[in-house]
Amino acid sequence: MKRLLIIMAAGVWFASCSTVSSKEKEGLSQAEKIERGKYLVTISGCHDCHTPKLFGSKGPVLDSNRLLSGYREGSPLPPYDSTIAKSGWALMGMEGTSMVSPLGVSYAANITSDETGIGSWSFEQFKKAFTKGKFKGLDNARPLLPPMPWENYAHMAEVDVESIFLYLKSTTPVRNVVPAAKIQ
């Protein structure tokens, strides 16, 4: 009997230690998810490729009027040079929003809340693009090209993917149509 009580007490203690707080059970509020998403976008380097840069005396800075809007619409397109494909090199455009590689030329997508970005996307679409590397989150679409590091996000917790999505959907919409990739 004493042994049974010890086992029961241990079970109650273990259960109480692993019990999730009521706040965690309810989950984060939408505002908390948006703040978390902003944090994750910032530390994950999304601005490195998805925000055009301005060049000042101390080098490139984010163009605050075009945050997360991708490759600038109307900018001259970089040529695809077959010597790059043969050499194994990849070259980034000056603003960091385009890349020429052996796979072709890729342009950073507009990921703002505008309809030319992800404004009309569902969470499932975003999740499929972000964690499975599918263009526009569509099942039969081409794979996303480098430098998009979707493989790094493949096992991200769903709440973090949702937080990033909610943050991006809350951004200032920037109308910007990004050119189609040139796949070699």
Verify cis geometry, omega within 30 degrees of 0, for the bond prior to 79. no
107 located within any domain: yes
Q: What is the pLDDT of residue 50?
A: 98
Render pLDDT for 52-106 as a digit per residue (tens, 0 to 9). 999 989 999 999 999 999 999 999 876 667 777 678 888 899 899 999 888 888 9
39 located within any domain: yes
53 located within any domain: yes
13 located within any domain: no
181 located within any domain: no
Instruction: Write out the residue range of the structural domain in which residue 162 sits.
Output: 29-176
> Is 150 exposed, middle or buried, given 0-12, 13-18 or 19+ CB atoms closer than 10 A?
middle
Whether residue 107 contacts residue 101, with contact meaning beta carbons closer than 8 Å, is answered with no
Nearest to 38 by CA among 184, 172, 174, 152: 172
10 located within any domain: no
Kindly tell me the sign of the dihedral angle through the C-alpha atoms of 51, 172, 160, 158: negative
Residue 164 has pLDDT above 60, yes or no: yes
3-state helix, strand, coil in the chain (%, to 5): 40, 10, 45
183 located within any domain: no
Number of structural domains the chain divides into: 1
Render pLDDT for 119-160 as a digit per residue (tens, 0 to 9). 999 999 999 999 999 999 999 999 999 999 999 999 999 999
Q: What is the pLDDT of residue 8?
A: 41
3-class SS at 52? coil
Structure token digits, residue 115: 């309809």
34 located within any domain: yes
Query: What is the rounded end-to-end Cα distance, in angstroms, of the chain?
Result: 74
